[in-house]
Protein backbone atom coordinates (compact mmCIF):
# COMPACT_ATOMS: atom_id res chain seq x y z
CA UNK A 1 0.00 0.00 0.00
CA UNK A 2 1.27 3.47 -0.93
CA UNK A 3 2.54 5.66 1.89
CA UNK A 4 3.55 9.32 2.27
CA UNK A 5 7.09 10.30 1.40
CA UNK A 6 9.75 10.15 4.09
CA UNK A 7 11.57 13.50 4.38
CA UNK A 8 9.59 14.71 1.32
CA UNK A 9 11.78 12.52 -0.88
CA UNK A 10 11.70 8.79 -0.20
CA UNK A 11 8.72 6.64 -1.23
CA UNK A 12 8.38 3.64 1.17
CA UNK A 13 8.03 0.34 -0.66
CA UNK A 14 8.13 -2.32 2.04
CA UNK A 15 9.35 -3.00 5.56
CA UNK A 16 12.58 -4.99 5.55
CA UNK A 17 12.82 -5.58 9.28
CA UNK A 18 12.00 -4.38 12.75
CA UNK A 19 14.03 -4.45 15.93
CA UNK A 20 14.60 -2.81 19.28
CA UNK A 21 16.22 0.19 17.65
CA UNK A 22 13.54 0.91 15.06
CA UNK A 23 12.42 -0.14 11.61
CA UNK A 24 14.27 -0.66 8.32
CA UNK A 25 12.29 0.31 5.22
CA UNK A 26 13.03 -0.27 1.54
CA UNK A 27 12.28 3.02 -0.22
CA UNK A 28 12.66 4.75 -3.57
CA UNK A 29 14.71 7.96 -3.72
CA UNK A 30 12.65 10.22 -5.98
CA UNK A 31 15.56 12.61 -6.54
CA UNK A 32 18.38 10.18 -7.28
CA UNK A 33 16.07 7.55 -8.86
CA UNK A 34 17.39 4.61 -6.85
CA UNK A 35 16.32 2.24 -4.09
CA UNK A 36 17.63 2.86 -0.60
CA UNK A 37 17.28 1.28 2.82
CA UNK A 38 16.11 3.65 5.56
CA UNK A 39 16.62 2.93 9.23
CA UNK A 40 14.04 4.81 11.30
CA UNK A 41 15.00 5.49 14.92
CA UNK A 42 12.25 7.04 17.06
CA UNK A 43 13.29 9.60 19.66
CA UNK A 44 12.55 9.02 23.33
CA UNK A 45 9.71 10.96 24.95
CA UNK A 46 9.95 13.38 27.86
CA UNK A 47 7.61 13.29 30.87
CA UNK A 48 4.89 15.05 28.91
CA UNK A 49 5.12 12.53 26.08
CA UNK A 50 6.83 14.85 23.59
CA UNK A 51 9.73 13.40 21.57
CA UNK A 52 13.18 14.73 22.42
CA UNK A 53 16.26 14.44 20.20
CA UNK A 54 18.79 12.36 22.15
CA UNK A 55 22.26 13.46 23.11
CA UNK A 56 24.97 12.00 20.91
CA UNK A 57 23.05 12.60 17.67
CA UNK A 58 25.94 14.46 16.03
CA UNK A 59 28.48 11.81 17.07
CA UNK A 60 26.29 9.01 15.74
CA UNK A 61 25.83 10.89 12.46
CA UNK A 62 29.59 11.25 12.06
CA UNK A 63 30.13 7.56 12.80
CA UNK A 64 27.53 6.52 10.24
CA UNK A 65 29.11 8.53 7.41
CA UNK A 66 32.24 6.36 7.10
CA UNK A 67 33.17 5.70 3.47
CA UNK A 68 34.77 2.31 2.81
CA UNK A 69 34.10 -0.53 0.33
CA UNK A 70 33.36 -2.94 3.18
CA UNK A 71 30.98 -0.56 4.96
CA UNK A 72 27.39 -0.04 3.88
CA UNK A 73 27.28 3.46 2.41
CA UNK A 74 25.17 6.03 4.21
CA UNK A 75 23.81 8.52 1.68
CA UNK A 76 22.12 10.85 4.12
CA UNK A 77 21.27 11.32 7.78
CA UNK A 78 18.37 13.52 8.78
CA UNK A 79 15.72 14.01 11.45
CA UNK A 80 12.18 15.26 11.77
CA UNK A 81 10.14 16.06 14.86
CA UNK A 82 10.28 12.59 16.39
CA UNK A 83 12.67 10.35 14.45
CA UNK A 84 16.17 10.04 13.07
CA UNK A 85 16.49 8.68 9.54
CA UNK A 86 19.59 6.96 8.23
CA UNK A 87 19.40 6.58 4.47
CA UNK A 88 21.72 3.80 3.32
CA UNK A 89 22.51 2.00 0.10
CA UNK A 90 20.17 -0.89 -0.49
CA UNK A 91 22.34 -4.02 -0.43
CA UNK A 92 20.81 -6.62 -2.70
CA UNK A 93 21.74 -9.69 -0.73
CA UNK A 94 21.39 -11.33 2.68
CA UNK A 95 22.89 -11.13 6.15
CA UNK A 96 25.35 -13.67 7.48
CA UNK A 97 22.62 -14.69 9.92
CA UNK A 98 20.26 -15.37 6.99
CA UNK A 99 22.90 -17.49 5.24
CA UNK A 100 23.61 -19.56 8.34
CA UNK A 101 19.91 -20.11 8.91
CA UNK A 102 19.35 -21.11 5.29
CA UNK A 103 22.27 -23.55 5.28
CA UNK A 104 21.24 -24.85 8.72
CA UNK A 105 24.79 -24.88 9.98
CA UNK A 106 28.11 -23.02 10.20
CA UNK A 107 29.95 -21.43 7.31
CA UNK A 108 32.86 -23.19 5.65
CA UNK A 109 36.44 -22.15 6.37
CA UNK A 110 36.59 -20.47 2.95
CA UNK A 111 33.38 -18.52 3.57
CA UNK A 112 34.50 -17.52 7.07
CA UNK A 113 37.79 -16.26 5.64
CA UNK A 114 35.95 -13.98 3.20
CA UNK A 115 33.83 -12.54 6.00
CA UNK A 116 36.78 -12.10 8.37
CA UNK A 117 38.82 -10.21 5.75
CA UNK A 118 36.04 -7.73 4.98
CA UNK A 119 34.86 -7.18 8.56
CA UNK A 120 38.43 -6.65 9.75
CA UNK A 121 39.02 -4.08 6.97
CA UNK A 122 35.82 -2.24 7.90
CA UNK A 123 36.51 -2.20 11.64
CA UNK A 124 40.15 -1.21 11.20
CA UNK A 125 39.12 1.71 8.99
CA UNK A 126 36.51 2.79 11.52
CA UNK A 127 38.93 2.54 14.43
CA UNK A 128 41.52 4.56 12.53
CA UNK A 129 38.84 7.26 12.23
CA UNK A 130 37.96 7.15 15.92
CA UNK A 131 34.70 5.20 15.49
CA UNK A 132 33.62 2.09 17.38
CA UNK A 133 30.88 -0.14 16.00
CA UNK A 134 29.64 -1.64 19.29
CA UNK A 135 27.10 -3.98 17.70
CA UNK A 136 28.97 -6.52 15.56
CA UNK A 137 26.72 -9.52 14.96
CA UNK A 138 25.62 -11.74 12.05
CA UNK A 139 22.60 -9.56 11.26
CA UNK A 140 24.83 -6.51 10.79
CA UNK A 141 27.12 -8.22 8.27
CA UNK A 142 25.64 -8.24 4.76
CA UNK A 143 26.69 -10.27 1.73
CA UNK A 144 25.86 -9.09 -1.79
CA UNK A 145 24.91 -11.28 -4.71
CA UNK A 146 28.49 -11.23 -5.99
CA UNK A 147 29.89 -12.32 -2.63
CA UNK A 148 31.11 -8.96 -1.33
CA UNK A 149 30.81 -8.48 2.43
CA UNK A 150 29.71 -5.19 4.01
CA UNK A 151 29.28 -4.11 7.63
CA UNK A 152 26.18 -2.06 8.48
CA UNK A 153 24.98 0.12 11.34
CA UNK A 154 28.05 2.06 12.38
CA UNK A 155 27.02 4.62 14.99
CA UNK A 156 23.60 3.07 15.55
CA UNK A 157 24.40 1.40 18.86
CA UNK A 158 25.64 4.62 20.44
CA UNK A 159 22.62 6.57 19.23
CA UNK A 160 20.19 3.89 20.31
CA UNK A 161 21.68 3.83 23.79
CA UNK A 162 21.38 7.61 24.07
CA UNK A 163 17.81 7.38 22.80
CA UNK A 164 16.85 4.86 25.45
CA UNK A 165 16.56 1.87 23.09
CA UNK A 166 19.65 -0.02 24.22
CA UNK A 167 21.59 -1.01 27.32
CA UNK A 168 24.99 0.23 28.30
CA UNK A 169 26.43 1.65 25.09
CA UNK A 170 23.89 0.07 22.78
CA UNK A 171 24.54 -3.37 21.39
CA UNK A 172 22.75 -6.72 21.48
CA UNK A 173 22.71 -9.34 24.27
CA UNK A 174 25.19 -12.09 23.45
CA UNK A 175 27.44 -9.81 21.39
CA UNK A 176 28.56 -7.41 24.13
CA UNK A 177 31.50 -7.87 26.51
CA UNK A 178 31.02 -7.22 30.21
CA UNK A 179 32.46 -3.70 30.13
CA UNK A 180 29.91 -2.69 27.50
CA UNK A 181 26.97 -4.19 29.39
CA UNK A 182 28.01 -2.36 32.54
CA UNK A 183 28.41 0.95 30.73
CA UNK A 184 32.15 1.27 31.40
CA UNK A 185 34.58 3.15 29.17
CA UNK A 186 34.94 1.39 25.82
CA UNK A 187 37.73 1.11 23.29
CA UNK A 188 38.74 -0.97 20.27
CA UNK A 189 38.96 -4.12 22.39
CA UNK A 190 35.14 -4.00 22.70
CA UNK A 191 34.79 -4.57 18.96
CA UNK A 192 37.57 -7.17 19.10
CA UNK A 193 35.47 -9.22 21.55
CA UNK A 194 32.30 -8.91 19.44
CA UNK A 195 34.31 -9.79 16.30
CA UNK A 196 35.49 -12.91 18.10
CA UNK A 197 31.91 -13.89 18.97
CA UNK A 198 30.88 -13.35 15.34
CA UNK A 199 33.63 -15.66 14.05
CA UNK A 200 32.92 -18.22 16.79
CA UNK A 201 29.29 -18.33 15.70
CA UNK A 202 30.11 -18.50 11.99
CA UNK A 203 32.38 -21.52 12.55
CA UNK A 204 30.27 -23.40 15.10
CA UNK A 205 26.69 -22.20 14.59
CA UNK A 206 26.65 -21.49 18.34
CA UNK A 207 27.00 -18.38 20.49
CA UNK A 208 28.20 -19.26 24.00
CA UNK A 209 27.03 -15.88 25.30
CA UNK A 210 23.54 -15.86 23.84
CA UNK A 211 20.86 -14.71 26.29
CA UNK A 212 17.34 -13.41 25.93
CA UNK A 213 17.65 -10.96 28.83
CA UNK A 214 20.27 -8.48 29.98
CA UNK A 215 20.59 -10.31 33.27
CA UNK A 216 21.37 -13.52 31.41
CA UNK A 217 23.88 -11.70 29.24
CA UNK A 218 25.65 -10.32 32.35
CA UNK A 219 25.77 -13.78 33.94
CA UNK A 220 27.26 -15.44 30.87
CA UNK A 221 29.76 -12.65 30.21
CA UNK A 222 30.90 -12.60 33.84
CA UNK A 223 30.64 -16.22 35.00
CA UNK A 224 30.46 -18.59 32.06
CA UNK A 225 33.73 -19.70 30.51
CA UNK A 226 33.06 -20.36 26.81
CA UNK A 227 33.76 -23.89 25.56
CA UNK A 228 36.44 -24.35 22.95
CA UNK A 229 35.00 -23.99 19.43
CA UNK A 230 36.03 -27.55 18.54
CA UNK A 231 33.58 -28.86 21.14
CA UNK A 232 30.84 -27.72 18.72
CA UNK A 233 32.77 -28.33 15.48
CA UNK A 234 35.45 -31.02 15.93
CA UNK A 235 36.72 -30.60 12.35
CA UNK A 236 38.02 -27.09 13.03
CA UNK A 237 41.80 -26.62 13.24
CA UNK A 238 42.96 -26.92 16.86
CA UNK A 239 44.77 -23.58 16.64
CA UNK A 240 41.47 -21.72 16.26
CA UNK A 241 40.52 -22.64 19.82
CA UNK A 242 43.33 -20.57 21.31
CA UNK A 243 42.78 -17.68 18.87
CA UNK A 244 39.07 -17.31 19.58
CA UNK A 245 39.31 -17.85 23.33
CA UNK A 246 41.97 -15.14 23.50
CA UNK A 247 39.68 -12.79 21.59
CA UNK A 248 36.91 -13.57 24.09
CA UNK A 249 38.95 -12.89 27.20
CA UNK A 250 36.80 -11.12 29.83
CA UNK A 251 39.56 -8.63 30.60
CA UNK A 252 40.10 -6.22 27.69
CA UNK A 253 43.88 -6.08 28.07
CA UNK A 254 44.10 -9.85 27.63
CA UNK A 255 42.54 -9.76 24.16
CA UNK A 256 44.29 -9.08 20.88
CA UNK A 257 45.45 -5.47 20.60
CA UNK A 258 43.26 -4.78 17.55
CA UNK A 259 40.97 -6.29 14.94
CA UNK A 260 43.81 -6.59 12.42
CA UNK A 261 45.86 -8.65 14.82
CA UNK A 262 42.89 -10.94 15.50
CA UNK A 263 42.12 -11.24 11.78
CA UNK A 264 45.72 -12.19 10.92
CA UNK A 265 45.73 -14.94 13.55
CA UNK A 266 42.37 -16.21 12.26
CA UNK A 267 43.26 -16.15 8.57
CA UNK A 268 46.34 -18.30 9.21
CA UNK A 269 43.97 -21.17 10.01
CA UNK A 270 40.98 -20.43 7.75
CA UNK A 271 40.49 -21.18 4.06
CA UNK A 272 40.72 -19.33 0.74
CA UNK A 273 38.82 -16.03 0.89
CA UNK A 274 38.47 -15.85 -2.91
CA UNK A 275 36.79 -19.25 -2.99
CA UNK A 276 34.77 -18.14 0.02
CA UNK A 277 33.33 -15.14 -1.84
CA UNK A 278 32.22 -17.38 -4.70
CA UNK A 279 30.61 -19.76 -2.24
CA UNK A 280 28.90 -16.89 -0.39
CA UNK A 281 27.53 -15.56 -3.67
CA UNK A 282 25.98 -18.96 -4.40
CA UNK A 283 24.43 -19.01 -0.92
CA UNK A 284 22.96 -15.55 -1.41
CA UNK A 285 21.49 -16.61 -4.74
CA UNK A 286 19.84 -19.59 -3.08
CA UNK A 287 18.43 -17.43 -0.27
CA UNK A 288 17.26 -14.46 -2.33
CA UNK A 289 16.35 -16.07 -5.64
CA UNK A 290 16.02 -13.95 -8.77
CA UNK A 291 12.98 -11.83 -7.95
CA UNK A 292 15.01 -9.10 -6.30
CA UNK A 293 16.65 -8.32 -9.65
CA UNK A 294 13.35 -7.87 -11.44
CA UNK A 295 11.26 -6.28 -8.72
CA UNK A 296 8.69 -4.04 -10.40
CA UNK A 297 8.09 -0.91 -8.37
CA UNK A 298 6.27 0.91 -11.18
CA UNK A 299 2.87 0.93 -9.51
CA UNK A 300 4.11 1.88 -6.04
CA UNK A 301 6.43 4.56 -7.35
CA UNK A 302 4.42 6.05 -10.20
CA UNK A 303 5.33 8.65 -12.79
CA UNK A 304 5.26 11.60 -10.37
CA UNK A 305 7.86 9.97 -8.14
CA UNK A 306 10.05 9.28 -11.15
CA UNK A 307 9.71 12.87 -12.33
CA UNK A 308 10.22 14.36 -8.87
CA UNK A 309 13.85 15.29 -9.47
CA UNK A 310 12.71 17.44 -12.40
CA UNK A 311 9.86 18.96 -10.41
CA UNK A 312 11.67 22.03 -9.10
CA UNK A 313 13.50 22.88 -12.37
CA UNK A 314 10.22 22.63 -14.29
CA UNK A 315 8.35 24.67 -11.70
CA UNK A 316 11.13 27.26 -11.65
CA UNK A 317 11.07 27.54 -15.44
CA UNK A 318 7.29 27.86 -15.52
CA UNK A 319 7.45 30.46 -12.74
CA UNK A 320 9.98 32.46 -14.73
CA UNK A 321 7.80 32.45 -17.86
CA UNK A 322 4.64 33.34 -15.96
CA UNK A 323 6.39 36.05 -13.92
CA UNK A 324 7.69 37.60 -17.15
CA UNK A 325 4.17 37.64 -18.65
CA UNK A 326 2.70 39.22 -15.52
CA UNK A 327 5.38 41.91 -15.55
CA UNK A 328 4.91 42.58 -19.27
CA UNK A 329 1.13 42.80 -18.92
CA UNK A 330 1.39 45.08 -15.88
CA UNK A 331 3.87 47.49 -17.46
CA UNK A 332 2.27 47.63 -20.93
CA UNK A 333 -0.22 50.41 -20.02
CA UNK A 334 2.62 52.78 -19.02
CA UNK A 335 3.99 53.12 -22.55
CA UNK A 336 7.60 52.66 -21.47
CA UNK A 337 8.74 51.13 -24.72
CA UNK A 338 9.50 47.56 -25.60
CA UNK A 339 13.14 47.71 -24.49
CA UNK A 340 12.40 48.95 -20.98
CA UNK A 341 9.42 46.63 -20.53
CA UNK A 342 11.44 43.70 -21.87
CA UNK A 343 14.33 44.45 -19.50
CA UNK A 344 12.06 44.58 -16.46
CA UNK A 345 10.22 41.45 -17.56
CA UNK A 346 13.57 39.66 -17.96
CA UNK A 347 14.63 40.64 -14.43
CA UNK A 348 11.31 39.48 -13.00
CA UNK A 349 11.64 36.24 -14.97
CA UNK A 350 15.09 35.71 -13.48
CA UNK A 351 13.65 36.26 -10.02
CA UNK A 352 10.92 33.73 -10.85
CA UNK A 353 13.50 31.12 -11.81
CA UNK A 354 15.78 31.68 -8.82
CA UNK A 355 13.02 32.26 -6.25
CA UNK A 356 9.63 31.29 -7.74
CA UNK A 357 7.57 32.72 -4.89
CA UNK A 358 9.34 36.08 -5.07
CA UNK A 359 9.24 36.36 -8.86
CA UNK A 360 5.54 35.51 -9.10
CA UNK A 361 4.77 37.88 -6.24
CA UNK A 362 6.53 40.76 -8.02
CA UNK A 363 4.77 39.90 -11.27
CA UNK A 364 1.36 39.86 -9.57
CA UNK A 365 2.08 43.24 -7.94
CA UNK A 366 3.02 44.74 -11.31
CA UNK A 367 -0.17 43.37 -12.87
CA UNK A 368 -2.21 45.01 -10.10
CA UNK A 369 -0.44 48.32 -10.79
CA UNK A 370 -1.21 47.98 -14.50
CA UNK A 371 -4.91 47.44 -13.74
CA UNK A 372 -4.96 50.62 -11.68
CA UNK A 373 -3.19 52.46 -14.52
CA UNK A 374 -5.97 51.36 -16.88
CA UNK A 375 -8.48 53.13 -14.66
CA UNK A 376 -9.85 50.09 -12.81
CA UNK A 377 -8.68 51.35 -9.43
CA UNK A 378 -10.98 49.28 -7.25
CA UNK A 379 -10.21 46.08 -9.18
CA UNK A 380 -6.45 46.71 -9.11
CA UNK A 381 -6.30 47.60 -5.42
CA UNK A 382 -8.53 44.67 -4.52
CA UNK A 383 -6.38 42.25 -6.50
CA UNK A 384 -3.22 43.63 -4.89
CA UNK A 385 -4.57 43.34 -1.34
CA UNK A 386 -6.04 39.87 -1.80
CA UNK A 387 -2.97 38.62 -3.63
CA UNK A 388 -0.65 40.07 -0.97
CA UNK A 389 -2.52 38.30 1.83
CA UNK A 390 -2.63 34.94 0.06
CA UNK A 391 0.95 35.28 -1.18
CA UNK A 392 2.29 36.11 2.29
CA UNK A 393 0.38 33.25 3.89
CA UNK A 394 0.96 30.53 1.31
CA UNK A 395 2.98 31.57 -1.72
CA UNK A 396 6.15 33.36 -0.71
CA UNK A 397 8.15 30.16 -0.22
CA UNK A 398 8.81 27.75 -3.05
CA UNK A 399 6.72 27.37 -6.18
CA UNK A 400 3.33 26.93 -4.46
CA UNK A 401 2.14 30.32 -5.72
CA UNK A 402 2.33 28.88 -9.23
CA UNK A 403 -0.81 26.86 -8.45
CA UNK A 404 -2.78 30.11 -8.14
CA UNK A 405 -2.53 30.59 -11.90
CA UNK A 406 -3.53 27.04 -12.78
CA UNK A 407 -7.21 28.06 -12.93
CA UNK A 408 -6.96 30.60 -15.79
CA UNK A 409 -4.56 28.39 -17.75
CA UNK A 410 -6.76 25.32 -17.37
CA UNK A 411 -9.76 27.51 -18.19
CA UNK A 412 -8.25 27.99 -21.64
CA UNK A 413 -8.48 24.20 -22.04
CA UNK A 414 -12.06 24.25 -20.69
CA UNK A 415 -11.15 22.25 -17.55
CA UNK A 416 -10.69 25.02 -14.97
CA UNK A 417 -12.55 23.01 -12.23
CA UNK A 418 -9.55 20.67 -12.10
CA UNK A 419 -7.41 23.49 -10.68
CA UNK A 420 -8.47 23.13 -7.01
CA UNK A 421 -8.24 19.35 -7.30
CA UNK A 422 -4.70 19.60 -8.63
CA UNK A 423 -3.86 22.08 -5.89
CA UNK A 424 -5.14 19.70 -3.24
CA UNK A 425 -3.21 16.87 -4.88
CA UNK A 426 0.13 18.58 -4.21
CA UNK A 427 -0.39 20.98 -1.28
CA UNK A 428 -1.33 20.62 2.41
CA UNK A 429 -4.91 21.53 3.38
CA UNK A 430 -4.49 25.14 4.52
CA UNK A 431 -2.41 26.33 1.55
CA UNK A 432 -4.74 24.36 -0.75
CA UNK A 433 -7.73 26.26 0.65
CA UNK A 434 -6.24 29.73 0.22
CA UNK A 435 -4.61 29.16 -3.15
CA UNK A 436 -7.70 27.42 -4.57
CA UNK A 437 -9.89 30.35 -3.57
CA UNK A 438 -7.47 32.82 -5.14
CA UNK A 439 -7.25 30.66 -8.27
CA UNK A 440 -11.05 30.83 -8.52
CA UNK A 441 -10.89 34.63 -8.27
CA UNK A 442 -8.26 34.83 -11.01
CA UNK A 443 -10.18 32.40 -13.23
CA UNK A 444 -13.46 34.29 -13.01
CA UNK A 445 -11.69 37.62 -13.53
CA UNK A 446 -9.78 36.34 -16.55
CA UNK A 447 -12.96 34.80 -17.96
CA UNK A 448 -14.87 38.05 -17.62
CA UNK A 449 -11.93 40.00 -19.06
CA UNK A 450 -11.87 37.77 -22.12
CA UNK A 451 -15.59 38.20 -22.72
CA UNK A 452 -16.87 35.11 -20.92
CA UNK A 453 -20.18 34.73 -19.18
CA UNK A 454 -21.52 33.06 -16.05
CA UNK A 455 -20.36 30.77 -14.55
CA UNK A 456 -17.07 32.33 -15.78
CA UNK A 457 -15.19 29.03 -16.00
CA UNK A 458 -13.69 29.45 -19.49
CA UNK A 459 -10.87 31.80 -20.53
CA UNK A 460 -10.04 32.75 -24.11
CA UNK A 461 -6.48 32.37 -25.43
CA UNK A 462 -6.54 35.97 -26.65
CA UNK A 463 -5.90 37.02 -23.03
CA UNK A 464 -2.31 35.88 -23.38
CA UNK A 465 -1.60 37.89 -26.51
CA UNK A 466 -3.52 41.12 -25.94
CA UNK A 467 -4.78 41.31 -22.35
CA UNK A 468 -5.62 45.02 -22.29
CA UNK A 469 -7.27 45.03 -25.69
CA UNK A 470 -9.49 42.14 -24.65
CA UNK A 471 -10.35 43.73 -21.30
CA UNK A 472 -11.27 47.02 -22.95
CA UNK A 473 -13.69 45.22 -25.27
CA UNK A 474 -15.28 43.14 -22.51
CA UNK A 475 -18.65 43.99 -21.05
CA UNK A 476 -18.81 40.97 -18.76
CA UNK A 477 -17.39 42.60 -15.63
CA UNK A 478 -20.73 44.12 -14.79
CA UNK A 479 -22.39 40.74 -14.92
CA UNK A 480 -19.62 39.19 -12.80
CA UNK A 481 -19.97 41.85 -10.11
CA UNK A 482 -23.73 42.21 -10.25
CA UNK A 483 -24.34 39.73 -7.40
CA UNK A 484 -22.36 38.10 -4.54
CA UNK A 485 -22.44 34.85 -6.52
CA UNK A 486 -18.63 34.77 -7.06
CA UNK A 487 -18.17 34.35 -3.30
CA UNK A 488 -20.03 31.03 -3.50
CA UNK A 489 -17.68 29.89 -6.28
CA UNK A 490 -14.66 30.86 -4.18
CA UNK A 491 -16.12 28.84 -1.33
CA UNK A 492 -16.69 25.82 -3.58
CA UNK A 493 -13.15 25.91 -4.99
CA UNK A 494 -11.66 26.30 -1.53
CA UNK A 495 -13.71 23.39 -0.20
CA UNK A 496 -12.68 21.24 -3.15
CA UNK A 497 -9.00 22.02 -2.58
CA UNK A 498 -9.20 21.22 1.13
CA UNK A 499 -11.18 18.03 0.56
CA UNK A 500 -8.75 16.79 -2.06
CA UNK A 501 -5.78 17.67 0.12
CA UNK A 502 -7.15 15.88 3.17
CA UNK A 503 -7.86 12.77 1.14
CA UNK A 504 -4.37 12.85 -0.37
CA UNK A 505 -2.60 13.01 2.99
CA UNK A 506 -2.40 9.22 3.03
CA UNK A 507 -0.57 9.41 -0.33
CA UNK A 508 -2.64 6.57 -1.76
CA UNK A 509 -4.39 6.45 -5.11
CA UNK A 510 -7.60 5.11 -3.57
CA UNK A 511 -8.01 8.05 -1.23
CA UNK A 512 -7.04 10.44 -4.02
CA UNK A 513 -9.91 9.05 -6.10
CA UNK A 514 -12.22 9.60 -3.13
CA UNK A 515 -10.91 13.17 -2.98
CA UNK A 516 -11.75 13.68 -6.66
CA UNK A 517 -15.33 12.53 -6.09
CA UNK A 518 -15.86 14.62 -2.96
CA UNK A 519 -14.05 17.62 -4.42
CA UNK A 520 -16.20 17.51 -7.55
CA UNK A 521 -19.30 17.50 -5.36
CA UNK A 522 -17.93 20.54 -3.50
CA UNK A 523 -17.31 22.32 -6.80
CA UNK A 524 -20.81 21.66 -8.08
CA UNK A 525 -22.22 22.71 -4.72
CA UNK A 526 -20.41 26.02 -4.96
CA UNK A 527 -21.70 26.71 -8.46
CA UNK A 528 -25.26 25.69 -7.52
CA UNK A 529 -25.11 28.02 -4.52
CA UNK A 530 -23.84 30.76 -6.83
CA UNK A 531 -26.83 30.17 -9.10
CA UNK A 532 -29.21 30.51 -6.16
CA UNK A 533 -27.54 33.73 -5.01
CA UNK A 534 -27.49 35.16 -8.54
CA UNK A 535 -31.10 34.29 -9.27
CA UNK A 536 -32.26 36.18 -6.19
CA UNK A 537 -30.63 39.35 -7.43
CA UNK A 538 -31.07 38.95 -11.17
CA UNK A 539 -33.12 36.07 -12.56
CA UNK A 540 -31.54 36.45 -16.01
CA UNK A 541 -28.09 35.35 -14.76
CA UNK A 542 -27.54 31.57 -14.69
CA UNK A 543 -24.43 30.28 -12.93
CA UNK A 544 -24.97 26.55 -13.34
CA UNK A 545 -25.57 24.82 -16.65
CA UNK A 546 -25.10 21.60 -18.53
CA UNK A 547 -21.87 23.00 -19.93
CA UNK A 548 -20.52 23.41 -16.41
CA UNK A 549 -21.44 19.83 -15.55
CA UNK A 550 -19.49 18.66 -18.58
CA UNK A 551 -16.48 20.72 -17.50
CA UNK A 552 -16.55 19.29 -13.99
CA UNK A 553 -16.86 15.79 -15.45
CA UNK A 554 -13.94 16.43 -17.84
CA UNK A 555 -11.90 17.82 -14.94
CA UNK A 556 -12.65 14.71 -12.89
CA UNK A 557 -11.54 12.46 -15.74
CA UNK A 558 -8.34 14.48 -16.07
CA UNK A 559 -7.67 14.06 -12.36
CA UNK A 560 -8.33 10.31 -12.53
CA UNK A 561 -5.60 10.12 -15.19
CA UNK A 562 -3.29 12.15 -12.94
CA UNK A 563 -3.91 9.78 -10.02
CA UNK A 564 -3.48 6.71 -12.21
CA UNK A 565 -0.05 8.00 -13.22
CA UNK A 566 1.15 8.01 -9.62
CA UNK A 567 0.15 8.47 -5.99
CA UNK A 568 0.23 11.96 -4.46
CA UNK A 569 3.73 13.13 -3.60
CA UNK A 570 3.06 14.04 0.01
CA UNK A 571 5.36 14.15 3.00
CA UNK A 572 4.74 12.23 6.22
CA UNK A 573 4.91 15.47 8.21
CA UNK A 574 3.39 18.47 6.45
* Secondary structure string (H, E, C) spanning 199-248: HHHHHHCCCCCCCCCHHHHHHHHHCCCCCCHHHCCCCCCCHHHHHHHHHC
Which residues 6+ apart lie within 8 Å of 533 measured at CB? 483, 484, 485, 487, 488, 543
Q: How far is CA 229 from CA 4, 257, 566, in A?
A: 49, 21, 55
35 pairs with which residues across the strands? 28
Cα–Cα dist 420/433, whole Å: 8
Burial class (CB in 10 A: 0-12, 13-18, 19+), 314: exposed
Asked whether 516 and 560 are in contact (CB, 8 A), the reply is: yes
Is it true that the peptide bond before 192 is cis, omega within 30 degrees of 0? no
Give the chain's radius of gyration (CA, Å): 32
Q: Among the options 135, 153, 191, 305, which is catalytic?
A: 135
Residue whose C-alpha is closest to residue 275's, from 70, 141, 112: 112
Nearest CA-CA partner of 420 in 490, 487, 326, 361: 490
Task: Identify whether the C-beta of residue 158 lies closer than 8 Å to the C-beta of residue 63.
Answer: yes
Contact 316, 352 (CB under 8 A): yes
In sign, the C-alpha dihedral spanning 223, 224, 228, 229 is negative
- What is the 3-state composition of the chain as percent helix, strand, coil, each rounded to the nearest 5? 60, 10, 35
Q: 108: which DSSP letter?
A: P
Q: CA–CA distance from 191 to each of 252, 355, 380, 565 (Å)?
A: 10, 50, 72, 49
Q: DSSP class of residue 51?
A: B
Q: Is 246 exposed, middle or buried (0-12, 13-18, 19+ CB in 10 A)?
A: middle
Is 135 marked active-site?
yes
Give the dihedral sign, CA 228/233/234/238: negative
Query: What angle, rounded to 10 degrees, do the helices at 259-267 and 109-128 form?
Result: 160
Tell me how far CA of residue 1 lies from CA of 10, 162, 300, 344, 573, in angstroms: 15, 33, 8, 49, 18
Q: Are 489 and 455 in contact (CB under 8 A)?
A: yes
Give the burial string for 65-82 (b: 16+ CB within 10 Å, else e).
Answer: bbebebbbbbebbeeeee
**Residues 6+ positions from 499 with CB-CB distance below 8 Å:** 424, 515, 518, 519, 522
- Active-site amino acid positions: 135
Amino acid sequence: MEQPLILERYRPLETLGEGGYGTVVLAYDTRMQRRVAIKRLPFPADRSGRPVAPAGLAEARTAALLNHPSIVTVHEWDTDADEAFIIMEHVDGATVGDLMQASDGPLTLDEAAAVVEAVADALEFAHDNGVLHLDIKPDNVLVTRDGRVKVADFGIAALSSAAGHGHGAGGTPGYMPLEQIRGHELDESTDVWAFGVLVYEMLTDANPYYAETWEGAVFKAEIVEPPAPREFAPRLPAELDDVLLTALAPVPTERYPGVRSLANHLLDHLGDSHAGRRSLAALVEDVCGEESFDRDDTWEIGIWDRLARWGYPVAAGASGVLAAWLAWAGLAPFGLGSVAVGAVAALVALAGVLAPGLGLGIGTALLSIGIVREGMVLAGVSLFVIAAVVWWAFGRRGAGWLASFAGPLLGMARVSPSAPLLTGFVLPPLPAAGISAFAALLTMTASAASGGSAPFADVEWTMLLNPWGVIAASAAFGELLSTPAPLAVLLGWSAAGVTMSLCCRSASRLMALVGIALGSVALLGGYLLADVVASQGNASVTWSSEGLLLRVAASSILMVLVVAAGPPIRAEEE
